[in-house]
Amino acid sequence: MRKNTIRYKLWFLWQFARDDFKGKYVGSVLGSVWALVQPMITILLYYFVFQLGFRSTPVEDMPFILWLVAGLIPWFYISDAVQGATSCLAEYSYLVKKVVFPVEILPLARLISVGIVQIALLIFTVVLFILFGYTPSIYYLQIPLFMIYMLLFTAGIVYLTSAMYAYFKDTIQVVSIIVQIVFWLTPFVWDQKMMPESVSAVLPFNPVYYILNGYRSAFIFGTVYMPGVKMTVYYWAVAVVLCLIGYRFFAKCRKHFADVL
Do residues 105 and 16 make contact, with C-beta atoms less than 8 angstroms apart?
yes
Over residues 104-151, the pLDDT tens digits come to: 888 898 899 888 889 989 999 999 999 988 888 899 999 999 999 999
Taking the CB of residue 251, how many other CB atoms lie within 10 A of it?
Answer: 13
Q: Give residue 30's domain range.
A: 2-260
- 159 against 47, higher pLDDT: 159
Per-residue confidence (pLDDT) for residue 126, from 0 to 100: 92
- Answer whether residue 44 shows pLDDT above 90: no
Do residues 148 and 112 make contact, with C-beta atoms less than 8 angstroms apart?
no
CA atoms within 13 A on the CB side of 175: 25
Total domains in the fold of the chain: 1
- Answer whether residue 27 shows pLDDT above 60: no
DSSP 31-67: GGGHHHHHHHHHHHHHHIIIIIIS-PPPBTTB-HHHH
- pTM confidence score: 0.87
Over residues 161-182, the pLDDT tens digits come to: 999 998 888 889 999 999 999 9
Task: Report the C-alpha gap between 5 and 101 in whole angstroms.
Answer: 15
Over residues 211-233, the pLDDT tens digits come to: 999 999 999 988 899 888 899 99
